[in-house]
Chain A
Amino acid sequence: MAARVASLAHGPRSLRASAARALTIGLFVVFVLVPLYWVIITSIKPSSDYLTTPPVWFPAKPTIVHYTAALFSYRGLQGLINSLIIASAATLLSTLMGTMMAYSLARFNTGGRHLALWVISQRFLPPVAIVLPIFLLFRAWGLYDTLIGLILAYSFMTLPLSVWMMYAYFRQLPKSLEEAALVDGLSRWQAFWMVAIPIAAPGVAAAAVFVFIAVWTEFFFALILTSRYAFTLPTIFRAFMGFQGAQYGEACALATVSLAPSIVLGMLVQRHLVRGLTLGALRG
């Protein structure tokens, strides 16, 4: 009897449902992965294969010439190094400051009811409105076209993001863990570093990933605030659109290179993103 019920449950209706589900997921995967595949495959195509009909799905003679051109002729390697330094430093700075600020907002109600909103209101301004003042300031202070300048600019630009992500995180963390630490003899500072931060690690990891990606892909400020030395990866792409036509191979090669850090980072922190560390701390 039970077997019959089970076979009914898996009858033609549910077969159709799972087929529909598979189709939907399949379409979605195609939608996401085909452009990615096209970028990677174009980066190793000889230029004669770019725009043929029918399209070339896999080149007969793959080449790495676009990579050497993008990295060395177009200074992609320097851009990659600059981007790595800037994004890492800005992520560190923004997450560190954001976490401490968020803790203060969440636990001591710093600045009353309005400071938290004021922090995020920084993002209400259109970037165009502040880029020129920053440009003038940076020129006056000698920060124009320097790594430090861009690190500072990005740290402050992404601060609202890390503050708000961590603010939300700390607010849902039970206070009693830190109170237990205080009674146990820790100072507030020690309770923050030894108890609150380790428990908030998944939140910190998530905030760091978001900040890193925001900085890694930023184009507009990098374009205005740098020229020959501190330029970042995204700013190089404009060079691939020239009078002689588009350099598809070089653009795709550099795009492939610039994808790598985000993917590696995503895999590294994935464990933290899904792990709920508070499990077991409190009741059942």
Chain B
Amino acid sequence: MASVKIGALHKSYGSVHAVRGVDLDIPDGEFTVLVGPSGCGKSTLLRTIAGLEDADAGDIAIGGEVVNGMRPRDRDVAMVFQDYALYPHMTVFGNISLSLRARRMPKSEIEERVKRTAAMLGVGPLLGRYPRQLSGGQRQRVAIGRAIVRNPRVFLFDEPLSNLDAQLRDEMRGEIKRLHQEISTTMIYVTHDQVEAMTLADRIVLLRDGVIEQQGAPLDLFEQPASLFVAGFLGSPRMSFIRGRLERTADAALVKLSNGGPSLALPSGRARDVGDGAEVILGFRPEHAGRANASPPADGRARIESRIELVQPTGSRSYATFSLAGQPAMAELQAHDAGRAGEPIHVDINLRSAVLFDPGTGKALQDSRR
């Protein structure tokens, strides 16, 4: 077990600057998820920690020891690969035990450790089989077993679930989380799937174009996104973004939506530092927009009138797309009260949970957040 500290890390492939100055401090035992769209540098960062790539600049320290230039085998990290990377010519036992054999551990101890690991992952009866005789989920378990059998200081996961079908993915996701609770070793997990990031992470590190866009606890990122990019990346269906202009009156701040849309009064105390007449983007998640009832809107909510364009039921909830000031927005409705496309609808938007962004920089306006 160990902490991982990364300072001013840079890595280029030819003309592609994949990682551009990443600083990251991962405490011992934390489950950190590196997430971002493809090409954001998350896999490169992980491979550099593993020692499979050399950093061009910057330091990586594992357990307080700088490991730049150290071979992968000396870093004492384990990695689970996207394509499993099981050795096809070795049995499950051979696959799981290779790292122990490489360290010349006594045979009896190897046997005992492999059996314990296999039992823990439910692949005990498969020890004599070859990878080609296993199903996708079994291969994934063996790949994880190969990583945990030697008690590494840090676990690295490179999109380990992306080759599994949806049901198996949910199951394995739960198992990985349980595994972390049991062994509580530092884990660094790369994915492009925001659901995986939200469910697994103690901390999410959201990368974009080789730099950290925002990091923090999953709910902090979800509720207080630092930028349009973070707000749009996390959450499904994604946040609705409506353009407008801030207008101040003596005692209130309003967002006057573009295209002659309505003015929405912000809760008192919000957007205090935003100047009068500033262009803003109002962001709100579907769960913060719902069908209005007969009583007037509650404090902090704004009621608007529109027409349903599209209804997408998911079973427990239905999502209705409607037009707000000529821009698409989404509301979360009761499954049995979603209505049909073309019907008029009154929507209450909870502006306490909404976020204001600066359209120029794409950053959240500081005191617009809760």
Which residues from chain A sit less than 8 Å from chain B, CB to CB?
174, 176-177, 179-187, 190, 194-195, 198-199, 201, 277-284
Contacts and interface: CB of A to CB of B under 8 A. Distances in A.
Interface stretch (B58-66, B96-104, B237-245, B289-297): B96-104
Interface string B85-116: 11111000000001100110000000000000
Interface string B34-61: 0000000000000000111000000000
A176 B83 contact: yes
A281 B79 contact: no
Contact of A279 (B51, B103, B132, B150): B132
18 contacts: A177-B85, A177-B88, A179-B50, A179-B52, A179-B72, A179-B85, A180-B85, A180-B146, A181-B87, A181-B98, A182-B51, A183-B156, A184-B98, A199-B88, A277-B89, A279-B88, A282-B85, A283-B83
Most buried by B among A179, A180, A181, A198: A180
A182 B88 contact: no
B138 to A, nearest CB: 11
B86 to A, nearest CB: 6
Contacts of B286: none
B80 to A, nearest CB: 9
Contacts of B51: 182-183
B229 interface: no
A228 to B, nearest CB: 47
A179 B81 contact: yes
B163 interface: yes
B181 interface: no
B87 A281 contact: yes
B103 A185 contact: yes
B136 interface: yes
Contacts of B82: 176
Interface string B131-169: 111101000000000100010000010000001000000
Nearest to A178: B85
Contacts of B79: 179-180, 183
A-B pairs with lowest CB-CB distance, top 7: A280-B132, A281-B88, A184-B99, A180-B85, A185-B102, A176-B85, A282-B83
Contacts of B150: 185
A177 B87 CA distance: 7
